[in-house]
Amino acid sequence: MQPNPLREGLEQERVPEPSCLVIFGASGDLTQRKLIPGLYSLAHDGLLPPGQTIVGMSRSEMTDDQFRAAMREACDEHARTRPVDEEIWENFARGLFYVSGEFTDSRSYNKLRVRLEEFDRTRRTGGRRIYYLAVPPEFFSQIAEFLGGEDMVTDPERGGPYTRVIIEKPFGHDLPSAHELNRVAVSTFRERQVFRIDHYLGKETVQNLLVLRFANGIFEPFWNRQYIDHVQFTVAESIGVEKRGNYFDSAGITRDILQNHMLQLVSLIAMEPPVAFEADSVRDEKVKVLRALRPIEEAVRGQYAEGSVLGEHAVAYRKEEKVKPRSNTETYAALKIFIDNWRWADVPFYVRAGKRLPKRVTDISIHFRPAPYPLFSRLGMKMHANVLAIRIQPDEGISLKFDSKLPGPTVRTAPVTMEFRYATSFGAEPPEAYERLLLETMLGDATLFARRDEIETAWAWLDPLLKRWSEDSDPPPFYSAGTWGPDAADELLEKDGRKWRRP
């Protein structure tokens, strides 16, 4: 059998020191669908150290064994490395524990601290702590305050073992709330201890953007306004709001997707080469992109109406559970943006995100300028733009479209595609995003996490648009579920002589 190059890469990974990873909100959907299955898959791949300890905490009453049984079911259903290996699971489950308690009760933290100190002795975790806040943002300040008050936060620069905290999005609702969230974070923790997690940055193809650009000599010389006509970003979901109606109706697609996922992708595509592949060097360049964003001049919003998606009936957004009957929240947004710097001056970046679209796909496409002399078009042949397409999900991979001669005695051209896919090229599915991000947190590498100034700069840029929409009493244009959004989104490109790429 040929060796699996993806597996070989995993075997070269560093293994962190054992720590106590505490998951606040351990009975929630994120823990069961992503966190524990991701941690088990890391253990399966030999990337968790002996003694790694995982402590779930929530209000539900459970014993350690009941928690382990529930997490086994979660891994059976959601782990990347299925079926679950019994021997690996038994070893992994010995490091699973549970503490019940209210997040607003100091006695819960005292009980948690006692157990963590016990694990330091019995499992040799050395006082190293990672707190994962898989809870709504309103609990963050209370949890941070109690952790500080119970002396459960230490810092190597002050002579203690490390403490790190992982915060899930949303990172605020607007700029003032983001300021407040960050203020609370640094009142208990230092900025370098805070890991703001955006699962898009853990996706293999997103990480590969940096390798594609900066490890290959053929792309970077053409990665600028001289050769690139425009860039498109699509984050499409076929599902509606599902059980998140209450949250989504107060957020909308712009806050839910554009402010975080989309702007992270834009900054990775547009950033300058960092001086080193280190956390602050990479994030410095991403922030420069965000600071260079021109104020938004052209934007389209929409809301899905009744329709059909993938052959199934879909109700209108206003009929979804926990959504206001006359809600004006946008479920679709498309923006035309510019980055005012030397590399990207006057190159439009078209971004769109929406729910109840025809398929689930996240796609970036770089559209190059045509050849300077239309040699073959003068012979009556239609020429097509070269397009470098990067598929983030599903079927992660990269493709390049270019024109080629059709076989035959006459010169005729047609577009062809060269394609790379992770699953087929490396013979294995890439790790899940949360696996990578959890491992990076244990290793203390913040490269794939958002920094405070990234969050606040993004909100400062987006807030004027959100304010403008909130003051508009008219509802967003409706689009039928199962279509690619409102007509105005197509017109956004058509008036520039372009059209959306259908991923």
What is the number of H-type helices and E-type strands within the chain?
A: 16, 17
CB-based burial of residue 176 (10 Å sphere; 0-12 exposed, 13-18 middle, 19+ buried)? Answer: exposed
Q: Tell how far CA 60 is from the center of its chain.
A: 29
Told to judge if 179 belongs to the known catalytic residues of this protein, a careful annotator would answer: no
CB atoms within 10 A of CB 185: 21
Our measurement of the distance from residue 195's CA atom to the centroid of its chain's CA atoms, rounded to an integer in Å, reads 13
Give bridge partners of residue 351 from the DSSP assignment: 233, 335
Give the integer Cα–Cα distance in Å for 39 and 88: 12
Indicate the burial class of 193 (C-beta count within 10 angstroms; 0-12, 13-18, 19 or more): buried
Q: In the structure encoding, which two tokens stand for residue 316, read together?
A: 């209108």
| Lookup result for tokens 């193809």 | 205
3-state secondary structure at position 65:
helix
Could you give the angle at which helices 279-291 and 452-470 cross, rounded to 10 degrees?
Answer: 30
- Tokens representing 149 are 């008050």
CB within 8 Å of 356: residues ≥ 6 apart: 237, 238, 239, 240, 304, 307, 309, 314, 317, 331, 481, 482
The total of other beta-carbon atoms located within 10 Å of residue 416's CB is 13
Cα distance between residue 175 and residue 181, in whole Å: 10
How far from each other are the two terminal CA atoms of the chain, in whole angstroms? Answer: 35
3-state secondary structure 69-85: HHHHHHHHHHCCCCCCC
**Annotated catalytic residue within 261, 313, 367, 384:** 261
Is the CB of residue 96 less than 8 Å from the CB of residue 64? yes
* Cα three-residue angle 495-501-503, rounded to 5 degrees: 155
CA distance 464 to 296: 8
Report the run of H or E that residue 309 belongs to, with start and end. strand 307-309
Give the position of tokens 């600028």. Answer: 224
Cβ-proximal residues to 81 (8 Å cutoff; 6+ apart), any chain = 40, 41, 44, 45
Q: Which helix (H) or strand (E) covers residue 13, if one does?
A: none
- Sign of CA pseudo-dihedral 114, 38, 182, 102: negative
Which residues carry out catalysis? Answer: 261
